[in-house]
Amino acid sequence: MNKHHLISLIKHIFKQGPTCRILLYHRVADVKNDPHLLSVSVHNFRDQIAWLQKNYHIVPLSKLVDQIKYHTLNSKSICITFDDGYADNFYNALPILKQLKVPVTIFITSGMIGKKTPFYWDINTYMKDRGRALSRLELRKLAKEPLIEIGSHSITHPSLSTLSVIEQKKEITKSKMDLENIIKKRIISFSYPFGTKKDYNKETVFFVKKAGYKYACANFPDNILKPSNFYTLPRILVRDLPIENFIKKIGKLL
């Protein structure tokens, strides 16, 4: 890179202003077989959250969106989110979050609530290592916690861009209605299943906005900037890393 390009890059960075990140978890569970790498052990999760709390300002997702909207974004801000709605979020993650007083957003696959069958991607996982979905009662209890925001993750967890317009609308709109009926609270956030740029399209985003969601998360790593699109917020996927490796990998990105 020559001197001219370096100066241009520096100007571009300063023009963007502060940046921060959103982290994406799925499960907090001690499992031996995890083919999709969705689980973070209880020990590693506690260490990760404690380190983040010590080094960053962990804020609710709603507050981060407000920081973007009102130009008060802080580079030390970070958000924590969960996708899918596994029961171990309630039994294993919540006690740690309450102990450390850390807010999170949990996106729920509404069609799985209370189901005894596993999530479809867990069918070939050893039974003892499969996670189950939250029950209605567990979800209600979770939603009453002041640190927890409940969001929607569709009904059946499809790649929304592969569906017809009618099917997309149903997945996005009905999941919101179903969750609101269960927890008796307004649902204002959405997370695209799978969440890569191939898994949603302009119709998806249109229906998310039309349904009344205020913001939505995707699943690709990037900075959160002042002009970030509220409906395609990027996130960093977290794996089951001991704290030393977590700091090297995640800490380097933050």
Residue pLDDT, tens place only, 88-141: 999 999 999 999 999 999 999 999 999 999 999 999 999 999 999 999 999 999
Q: What is the pLDDT of residue 13?
A: 41
Q: Which of 172, 176, 199 is nearest to 186 (CA)?
A: 176
139 vs 254: which has the higher pLDDT = 139
Return the structure tokens found at 76. 């030390």
Which superfamily is assigned to 17-253 in CATH?
Answer: Glycoside hydrolase/deacetylase (3.20.20.370)
69 vs 17: which has the higher pLDDT = 69
Residue pLDDT, tens place only, 130-183: 999 999 999 999 999 999 999 999 999 999 999 999 999 999 999 999 999 999
Q: Treating both helix axes as pointing N-terminal to C-terminal, what angle do 136-144 and 165-183 enclose, rounded to 10 degrees?
A: 70
Residue-wise over 122-146: b if at least 16 C-beta within 10 A, else e?
Answer: beebeeeebbbbbeeebbeebbebe
Return the structure tokens found at 86. 């596994």
Please name the helix (run of DSSP H) or strand (run of DSSP E) that holds residue 138, with its range, or none.
helix 136-144
Say which residues have a Cβ less than 8 Å from residue 54's Cβ, sequence separation at least 6. Answer: none
Q: What is the pLDDT of residue 226?
A: 67
| Three-state SS at 237 | strand
Rounded Cα–Cα distance for residues 65 and 216 (Å): 10
Give me the residues paired with residue 106 across strands.
Answer: 82, 150
pLDDT band (50, 70, 90) for residue 249: confident
Q: What is the pLDDT of residue 2?
A: 54
Query: SS3 breakdown of the chain: % helix, strand, coil, rounded to 5?
Result: 45, 15, 40
Q: What are the sequence ranges of the domains in the chain?
A: 17-253
